[in-house]
Structure 1
Amino acid sequence: MEEVIDLKEIIEILKKNLKLILGLAITFALIAGIVSFFLIKPTYQSESQVIVNQKGKNADVYNNPGEVQTNLQLINTYSQMINSKVIRKQVVDQLNLDVSEKSLQPMISVTSEAESQLMKINVAGPDKKETAEIANALADIAQKEVKRVMGVDNLSVFSKADVDEETAPIKPKPLMNVIVAGLLGLILGTAIAFLRSMLDTRLNTEEKIDKYIGLPTLGKIYTIEK
């Protein structure tokens, strides 16, 4: 016969295991807080922007759809150039960074919105001033390299990262981590509580005797405290 747990039993299970559930939630939240605040190094992100557009043609460029389309097609090429070994090496040399150019690769991301000639150069790292300097150096060097390699002067620096700007780290997010960990602790504690209840086959309460055997209770034996 299929066993059905009613609302009253659910509440009783939760009340009986309340310390376990809250204990796991608090423990998980504390661990997440300690790890987020003290063990994980903060990561900062800086952004510079470049725009693909022929210099001196700002007034009439949008009257020429063919030229705009060409600029849009170049964005993918320029994105790869910006995070290329050649440009990363120049950034390391220019800023005298104590890292290899290869280690910069995962720190850099270049994105652009659909049908937009604006490209965003994002650099993420543990030093917020250094990330801003790298983002700006990438924009400047990319502009020069495009002119040298492609033979066209159609990449301009639109905006630079503020080296002295006070910015919050993009990760970790301590509050979010604590909340998520606490919720996971609640879920785990609740799951353990119901599992313990399902595995407990003892007939140690009047309710269980009445439910599973259907016999009346003739008497009770109380615990006498000494």
Structure 2
Amino acid sequence: MEETIDLNKLFAILKKNMKYLIILPIVFLVLSMMMTFLFITPKYSSSTQVLVNQKETDSQMMAQQVQSDLQLVNTYSEIIKSPRILDKVSKNLKGKYSSEEIAGMLTVSNQAESQILNIAVENESREAAGKVANEIANVFSKDVNKIMNVDNVSILSKADYYGSKDSPKPLINAVVGVFLGLIVALIIIFLKEILDKRIKTEEDVEELLDLPVLGVIQRFDY
């Protein structure tokens, strides 16, 4: 019974403050959309793939080499992100981006048990994202032969210059905005209730003063 009363009281509080639950999510939604379209610079992502695969004809040797290549994938991932590769990429791009800036744009990944490395670059320009990704793949495929003394890397697919939009994401930002608005509204409502010590109902008299209610004086509006 007490739980039911508490729930009823909770719903009554929410109903009484419904304006906060409606207005604040709308305000935060509008603010999040303004941030999304007016203040956040769009970024685009383009990626290229390189294959780690020894050129071997014998099937038994090939199977052994595949295992070896899989073990080297993580090493190659670190080589791609190393200053030796990125410094050369920066130089080939006429110093438009420093090696540190390129490192900040770059993400190298691969699926488990895969010999394919995915080189993704995020940039404010679609064309620049594709150009930087392709240059990284080119430099890596050439220099890895000297670094590791192997010839087992080839470019599987080149990045295009029409990269996909990575950010901002309007739908996600809208949902986050509405959610934050609801959270702020609930905080305001419950703070208001906690800090308001006024006695407003006969139930408050019984609960706070532990006194029985003998009668209720009706309010008259003239």
**Distance (whole Å) between structure 2 residues aligned to residue 137 and residue 62 of structure 1:** 34
C-alpha spacing 1:205/1:151, structure 2 compared with 1 (3 Å):
same
Q: CA RMSD in A?
A: 2.4
Give the Å deviation of 1:184: 1.8
Instruction: Please say if residues 135 and 161 of structure 1, whose CA atoms lie closer than 8 Å, have aligned partners that are also in contact.
Output: yes
Instruction: Please say if residues 46 and 124 of structure 1, whose CA atoms lie closer than 8 Å, have aligned partners that are also in contact.
Output: yes
Instruction: Please say if residues 54 and 66 of structure 2, whose CA atoms lie closer than 8 Å, have aligned partners that are also in contact.
Output: no
C-alpha spacing 1:153/1:223, structure 2 compared with 1 (3 Å):
same
> What residue is the counterpart of 2:173 in the other structure?
177
**Distance (whole Å) between structure 2 residues aligned to residue 222 and residue 192 of structure 1:** 32
> What residue is the counterpart of 2:212 in the other structure?
214
Instruction: Please say if residues 33 and 177 of structure 1, whose CA atoms lie closer than 8 Å, have aligned partners that are also in contact.
Output: yes
> What residue is the counterpart of 2:116 in the other structure?
118
Any residues of structure 2 matched to 1:7-46 within 5 Å, and which? 7-46=7-46
- Which of 77, 82, 102 aligns to 2:80? It is 82
Instruction: Please say if residues 28 and 180 of structure 2, whose CA atoms lie closer than 8 Å, have aligned partners that are also in contact.
Output: yes
Give the Å deviation of 1:195: 2.7
**Distance (whole Å) between structure 2 residues aligned to residue 162 and residue 171 of structure 1:** 18
Paired residue type of 2:199: L
> What residue is the counterpart of 1:69 in the other structure?
67
TM normalised by structure 1 equals 0.86
Give the Å deviation of 1:3: 10
- 1:66-93 Cα deviation digits (max 9, x unpaired): 2112111221221122112122122222
Q: Which runs of 5+ in 1 are unaligned?
A: none
- 1:25-56 Cα deviation digits (max 9, x unpaired): 1122111111111111112111100011123x
**Distance (whole Å) between structure 2 residues aligned to residue 217 and residue 209 of structure 1:** 12
Give the Å deviation of 1:160: 0.9
Q: Which runs of 5+ in 2 are unaligned?
A: none
- Which of 131, 137, 140 aligns to 1:139? It is 137
Instruction: Please say if residues 89 and 101 of structure 1, whose CA atoms lie closer than 8 Å, have aligned partners that are also in contact.
Output: yes
Identity %: 37
> What residue is the counterpart of 2:188 in the other structure?
192
1:151 aligns with 2:163: no
Paired residue type of 1:73: Q
Q: How many aligned positions are there?
A: 219
> What residue is the counterpart of 2:96 in the other structure?
98
Paired residue type of 2:201: T
Paired residue type of 1:111: S
Local SS of the residue matching 2:166? coil
Give the Å deviation of 1:200: 2.1
Structure 1 stretch displaced more, 72-81 or 42-51: 72-81
Paired residue type of 2:44: Y
Instruction: Please say if residues 210 and 216 of structure 1, whose CA atoms lie closer than 8 Å, have aligned partners that are also in contact.
Output: no
Paired residue type of 1:11: F
Instruction: Please say if residues 206 and 217 of structure 1, whose CA atoms lie closer than 8 Å, have aligned partners that are also in contact.
Output: no
Instruction: Please say if residues 46 and 163 of structure 2, whose CA atoms lie closer than 8 Å, have aligned partners that are also in contact.
Output: no
C-alpha spacing 1:73/1:14, structure 2 compared with 1 (3 Å):
same
Local SS of the residue matching 1:68? helix
Give the Å deviation of 1:191: 2.8
**Distance (whole Å) between structure 1 residues aligned to residue 220 and residue 131 of structure 2:** 76
**Distance (whole Å) between structure 1 residues aligned to residue 73 and residue 219 of structure 2:** 83
**Distance (whole Å) between structure 2 residues aligned to residue 35 and residue 60 of structure 1:** 59
- 1:90-145 Cα deviation digits (max 9, x unpaired): 22222234221221112112111222111111111211110111111111111110
